Chains A and B, each alone.
Chain A
């Protein structure tokens, strides 16, 4: 119980920390020297050699230690399917006369050096003609000469320098670009007409009556009508089509009052100009459309680089290796795999279809598919499921079900994957729009009826004026700018939302469901530290020798993470669930739980497991072995527990039930859940009128993520595969989850405040309208003023809220 110095030791003590010149990691396990530089492994050294031989060392000068640590199990043969013409043609975007172009996703690129090297690929091989990088999309577009370098050789080259492209089934990205462009062109047209109409309206603003002679009046008037035509019939087209569509469904959304206001604005102005009664309100019309479209553009600026729609097809490779009847190994596209084909699955390769094990030492890692954390050993004749990864030497399997009919892919036939996106569902704004439209129409009618007793002209003026000024420009701008800001802040901090609707959904949650493997656990190295009195190298040896005798996972973890020699053990005793003890080199060594070593009955639930050590009855200290749960789990879960009902659904077994009890209630934990079970569970929670958010990462969560009101995929690498979800959470930002949820709620409140501001302006405008005082000048002032007020307020409010909640940029951490 007496610990002398509470120092944390690295095990065993390292003299100095050498950093690898290529990738920046510490040279812990190995240390190579080459040309006066240090490298942490032969992989890094090899890349340096390649670059040095080709005079590409500029790479290291642009950024420090820019290299990417490659995976050690790289073998060239896994690219052999690229030699197959049909498979290659699905990847190439252009292929003619020996020149081909291909666009690769390269998630490893992260800095300027990466861009430089990838754009200088032609210096590594003359067959590469040109390569262009789009950093935001993490894409490289490479044009190459097929006769000098084949597609396979190109991919091998890139893999050799650490930038292996991710080759999966192509996803549709072209469509989205077209719509973005059209919106920008609409904004351009509206802005152009807005500026010119305002120019033409100057005489009317300044009330300068020297221009009142009828010929100028008519000239400016007609010019304004002409300029407003492109705005109404092109830029504003979408508002009208959307309003008609929704009215046919006997419902109302925000586009209805907008279309109404814009339409009345246009008609009234045309009538005024043609009859000579006034100058018309074309400037307000064009300005309104311009601001609205800018708002729409701002709101739609989400993360085009990330993909929220990936289904199981993007998880699988595009080809597998089939063994023919005469023993030849040929690459075969995934769609071509038939039942009873014999396939070869190599180390780290994904099994493409449900199959039976024919031969080989099969250790299948299902963590991404079913959530089981440990690889499973399989016997010949066992059924292997699609999606598992082989972690061992190559195995031969016989296909039982084609790719589309395997157990995993059946999940995607569920109804939940076919339901339409919730764009048609009424949101908060839609409900307000309904009431808003009714109110202004009633006011307009009131004004019409009242003034009709006095003058028909006045009645018409007032009726149209009410409809014009009550147009919800501030209303329509509040949501895009607020949510647009919210999305921007969240994205900078590590939570990437699919679209602005998700913000509203995040604000209305009651339950949160967590997956276990990969979501609350991390797949990185288990961290071991020793806290207590400093141990000598001999003492480390004694401990390591003892734990070598035990098969307990904690013993194995300690064994694997200490670098010390093994000595002879004279006696060994293991007490299940408590610890081990034995005599090594004449000393009594005991390793075990706190209760075992210290007889302390009050075991504290620490963030990590503590394994105490005593040598000759002297307690030396303890190892902290983080079970691989994410940092900050404790604080995150406790913060969430206060407001939400939290559940755990895991595909893994319940071995860690006891440990997890500190965070989850017993009835809210479920283990060994199949993907179907998880989906049903979410449905169950929803049937209790509870809005639920699901947080997961694997294919086994796909159904649950789709079914829940908000589905968040946690990713260590946001560019790698994650199942279809509404938002992607960077694993490093996991602890910010409570802050993010609070931020979404506050954003919704800010929107409500904006509505209030908008209604204030509307009341003022209504006063002018009902008294017949709505001149074009008044309208031209009020509308931009209300818009700018709302935009300024919402920007300041969201920025202030974000800072107050501590939401910082992920780069600054």
Chain B
């Protein structure tokens, strides 16, 4: 049963890692704006001219 000491220590360290990640996320300002990224994700990037050309070529063939 003494294995439980090791297991508890290991799980604690993992949990601590998550806590640190939590602090880092808050400090980096991720949660300043929780609405705009949801809109931004739906925007489509502009097709560049070369992409349009290659698309046209594909459809021609």
Residues of A within 8 A of B (CB): 55, 58, 62, 112, 115-116, 119, 123, 133-137, 177, 181, 184-185, 188-189, 192, 195-196, 200, 216, 219, 223
Q: A196 touching B12 by the CB < 8 A rule?
A: yes
B:27-50 near A, CB below 8 Å: 27, 31-36, 39-40, 42-44, 46
Contact of A134 among B12, B27, B36 (CB under 8 A): B36
Contact of B42 among A112, A136, A184, A189 (CB under 8 A): A112
Q: How far is the CA of A32 from the CA of B44 in the complex (A)?
A: 31
Min CB distance B24 to A, Å, is 11
Q: A133 touching B36 by the CB < 8 A rule?
A: yes
Q: How far is the CA of A200 from the CA of B4 in the complex (A)?
A: 11
Q: How far is the CA of A189 from the CA of B23 in the complex (A)?
A: 9
B15 touches A (CB below 8 Å): yes
Q: How far is the CA of A58 from the CA of B34 in the complex (A)?
A: 24
Q: How far is the CA of A424 from the CA of B53 in the complex (A)?
A: 69
Interface of B is mostly: helix
Q: How far is the CA of A112 from the CA of B4 in the complex (A)?
A: 54
Q: A219 touching B5 by the CB < 8 A rule?
A: yes
The answer to whether A136 and B26 touch (CB under 8 A), given A112-B42, A219-B5, is no
The 5 A-B residue pairs whose C-beta atoms are closest, nearest first, are: A135-B36, A134-B33, A192-B19, A112-B39, A136-B35
Min CB distance B22 to A, Å, is 5
Q: B26 touching A181 by the CB < 8 A rule?
A: yes
Q: B22 touching A135 by the CB < 8 A rule?
A: no
Min CB distance B16 to A, Å, is 8
- 16 A/B residue pairs, CB under 8 Å, sorted by A: A55-B46, A58-B46, A62-B43, A119-B40, A123-B46, A135-B33, A135-B36, A135-B39, A136-B33, A137-B33, A184-B26, A185-B23, A188-B23, A189-B19, A196-B15, A216-B4
B36 neighbours in A (Cβ, 8 Å) = 115, 133-136
Q: How far is the CA of A188 from the CA of B20 in the complex (A)?
A: 10
Q: How far is the CA of A137 from the CA of B33 in the complex (A)?
A: 8
B33 neighbours in A (Cβ, 8 Å) = 134-137
Min CB distance B32 to A, Å, is 7
A61 to chain B: closest residue by CB: B44
Q: How far is the CA of A184 from the CA of B28 in the complex (A)?
A: 13
Min CB distance A376 to B, Å, is 44
Q: How far is the CA of A133 from the CA of B32 in the complex (A)?
A: 12
Contact of A135 among B12, B26, B35, B43 (CB under 8 A): B35
Q: How far is the CA of A115 from the CA of B23 in the complex (A)?
A: 29
Q: How far is the CA of A195 from the CA of B26 in the complex (A)?
A: 20
Q: B26 touching A188 by the CB < 8 A rule?
A: yes
Q: How far is the CA of A123 from the CA of B35 in the complex (A)?
A: 24
Q: B42 touching A188 by the CB < 8 A rule?
A: no
Min CB distance A582 to B, Å, is 60
B22 to chain A: closest residue by CB: A188
Q: How far is the CA of A137 from the CA of B1 in the complex (A)?
A: 56
A62 to chain B: closest residue by CB: B43
Q: A115 touching B12 by the CB < 8 A rule?
A: no
Q: A116 touching B22 by the CB < 8 A rule?
A: no
Q: A188 touching B19 by the CB < 8 A rule?
A: yes
Contact with A along B5-17 (1 / 0, CB 8 A): 1001000100100
A119 neighbours in B (Cβ, 8 Å) = 40, 43
A185 neighbours in B (Cβ, 8 Å) = 23, 26
A58 neighbours in B (Cβ, 8 Å) = 44, 46
Min CB distance A659 to B, Å, is 44
